Structure 1
Amino acid sequence: MRFDFFDLQLLLHIVATGSLTQGADRAAISLQAASERIKKLEQYFETPLFIRHNAGVELTTAGHALVEHAKKLNAQKNKLEQDMQRFRQKSAESLILWCNSSAQSEYLPALLPQYLMHYPHINIDLHEAESSEIVDALTKGIARLGLVSSFFDTRHLHTQDFASDPLVLICPDSHVLTQQAQLNLVDALAYDFIGLMPHHSLQQSIETQAKLLGFNIHYRLRLPNFSAIAEVVAKGVGVAIMPARAAQRLQGIYHFQAIQLLGAWANRKLLLASQDFDQLPQSYQDFAKFLLARKPQDEQSVLVQDHITPQRQQTDKK
């Protein structure tokens, strides 16, 4: 039989109470189980540890010696556990960030890996939604932190500017709209569109604006991301709307023209929003400070003069 720390702790409980019964209670085991454990200890060391009498129990000389060792071993066990505590893996905490599709695809991929490297015990769950849905979720307390378009009413929330996020229309190099330096959405709605999948928040927002103007967008194709859209537009299939930041990035890969869209809806900013930043849990406050400290530098929308067609260059020289 091998004894363990539970046996030693039981021994100390019995000594502290002067009673086998009370010692068993402290150890949260039955009197019979306590008696059997002490008996096996005595058999292991081949000597009595207690003198039993009607008033309780009394340690023998061997019992006193074992108690001293038990105290030292328990103290060492406690110190061992304390020393090893710092090596235990902490349970990961998850932060939920609500964001629109532009924030998710164009801004967060560069920032979040930095944050995760700094905070290895925190996970981030991105919840993509339309900005209006995010504002509603923040208002109702369903969401704690969100990145939303400035086009929507956030006056009842606490907000901080995060990035300029204008939208542009992209079209093939030979498209008739490339003659325009800027245009209103209504001027493009008569043409065939390449769009994001129906569940994407940006596409839902574009469709909402079109319906307000009395149009239903005609899609030739829907694709899952801006890169796929840019490739198809460059091949002459249709026009599309995307964030200026995405267009700038993709013009280094595909040949298309980007045209500035007019109106508050298109010339938007991304706002970091919460009901009250000061009332957020500390982990969310730290995350918000991280995002704001590393927010992108203000970028102008894709400048049409940087990507104008030869026909327009000739017109400008006249």
Structure 2
Amino acid sequence: MTPDPKSLRLFVSVLKHGTIAAAAEHEHTAAAAVSRRISDLEEQLGVALIVRSNKGVSPTPAGRALLNMSHRVLHDLDSIQAQMHDYAVGMKGYIRIFANISAMHQFMPRELSAFLADNPLVQIDLEERVSTAIAEAVADNNADVGVLVVDTPLEGVEYLPYKEDDLVVIVPASHPLAGKERVRFADTLDYDYVGLPPGSQMNLHLMRTAREQGRTWRYRFQVSSYDSLCLMVESGLGVGMLPRRIALAYAKALDIELLGLDEPWSHRQLHVCIRSYDALSPAARLLVERMTGTGRDAG
């Protein structure tokens, strides 16, 4: 049998303090219990470990060897306990996050930078996905946390309010709609769009909304980034729709104009998506609480 850590700690303490009585006092236990532990340890290992005398105790050759090994073993155990404690309280951990393009461009860089500054031992794996795939990934445990715009809520996951944004239409400076402060969505349907990736929540929403109006949402190209979208709009290859703060950043460098979108759905709520609060690791729980300003205790 392998000696248990408690017996090794008492053995080290006895030799450190020189007497069983002094070790017992330091360890806040009875001297008889300490003596019994040492005797059991000697019996278990089949060798004498200490020599008792009226002056105290001293190690046998086997005892000296065990003392050296005990220091290493107990140090490793303390290190394990400390590291596991770091994981338990969220100081260490691994978090898988899927976020949509809007969250990736607007919020996640600053959000994660601030979080990692306070929790530098946490490892984060961040991937960009379309909103329609994010909730499924969370439900299937392929991601711990999702950040998305909810279209149709998925059963088996929780949605927590995160950030808000506003959609605008962008057009080339030479476009017939240029110069207008605000437009209705219907006003844009006479023109081809530059769309976002296939399956994106934005594309699906625009298709559905146009269909409800008896119209067709037409796109000439689909791109995977706002950078490509804005460059193609500037080149006259279509109009686009994206969050206002992102459009403002590109408008400073490109010859495009922003048109306010006069639709109730142009103001959007982004959500954090999780399987359940209780299923989160301590590190993921810290991040979610930070992002949403909520927690199980705050409810």
TM range (shorter): 0.5 to 0.7
Partner residue in 2 for 1:167: 167
State the SS of the aligned residue for 2:228: helix
Confirm or deny: 8 A CA contact 1:261 1:267 kept in the other structure.
no
Q: How does 1:17-166 map to 2 (within 5 A)?
A: 17=44, 65-82=60-77, 93-135=93-135, 145-149=145-149, 159-166=159-166
Q: Distance in 2 between matches of 1:223 and 1:16?
A: 74
Q: Which amino acid aligns with 2:196?
A: L
Q: Distance in 1 between matches of 2:152 and 2:44?
A: 70
Q: Which amino acid aligns with 1:229?
A: L
- Residues 188-233 of structure 1, C-alpha deviations (whole Å, 9 max, x = no match): 1111222223254433433343344344433333333112221222
State the SS of the aligned residue for 2:252: coil
CA 1:103 to 1:180, structure 2 compared with 1: closer, same or farther past 3 Å? same
State the SS of the aligned residue for 1:94: strand
State the SS of the aligned residue for 1:272: strand
Q: Distance in 2 between matches of 1:159 and 1:273?
A: 5
Q: Residue 102 of structure 1: CA displacement?
A: 0.9
Q: Distance in 2 between matches of 1:74 and 1:168?
A: 69
Task: State which structure, 1 or 2, has the greater radius of gyration over its C-alpha atoms.
Answer: 1
Identity %: 21
State the SS of the aligned residue for 2:260: strand
Partner residue in 1 for 2:4: none
- Residues 235-285 of structure 1, C-alpha deviations (whole Å, 9 max, x = no match): 333211111121011111112111122323322122334465466443222
Q: Any stretches of 5+ residues in structure 2 without a counterpart?
A: 1-7, 9-38, 49-58, 294-299
State the SS of the aligned residue for 1:176: coil
Between the two proteins, the alignment pairs up a number of residues equal to 242
Q: Distance in 2 between matches of 1:77 and 1:273?
A: 45
Q: Which amino acid aligns with 1:163?
A: K
Q: Distance in 1 between matches of 2:151 and 2:256?
A: 27
Q: Any stretches of 5+ residues in structure 1 without a counterpart?
A: 1-8, 24-48, 50-63, 294-318
Confirm or deny: 8 A CA contact 2:172 2:233 kept in the other structure.
yes
Q: Which amino acid aligns with 1:249?
A: A
CA 1:108 to 1:66, structure 2 compared with 1: closer, same or farther past 3 Å? same
Confirm or deny: 8 A CA contact 1:101 1:200 kept in the other structure.
no
State the SS of the aligned residue for 1:166: strand
Q: Which amino acid aligns with 1:234?
A: E
TM-score in terms of structure 1 length: 0.60
Say whether 1:16 aligns with 2:21. Answer: no
Q: Distance in 2 between matches of 1:146 and 1:191?
A: 33
Q: Which amino acid aligns with 1:76?
A: H
Q: Distance in 2 between matches of 1:252 and 1:140?
A: 41
Confirm or deny: 8 A CA contact 2:130 2:199 kept in the other structure.
no
Q: Residue 112 of structure 1: CA displacement?
A: 1.6
TM-score in terms of structure 2 length: 0.63
Partner residue in 1 for 2:209: 209
Q: Distance in 2 between matches of 1:167 and 1:96?
A: 28
Partner residue in 2 for 1:290: 290
Q: Residue 14 of structure 1: CA displacement?
A: 10
Q: Distance in 1 between matches of 2:131 and 2:107?
A: 15
State the SS of the aligned residue for 2:63: helix
Q: Distance in 1 between matches of 2:135 and 2:62?
A: 65
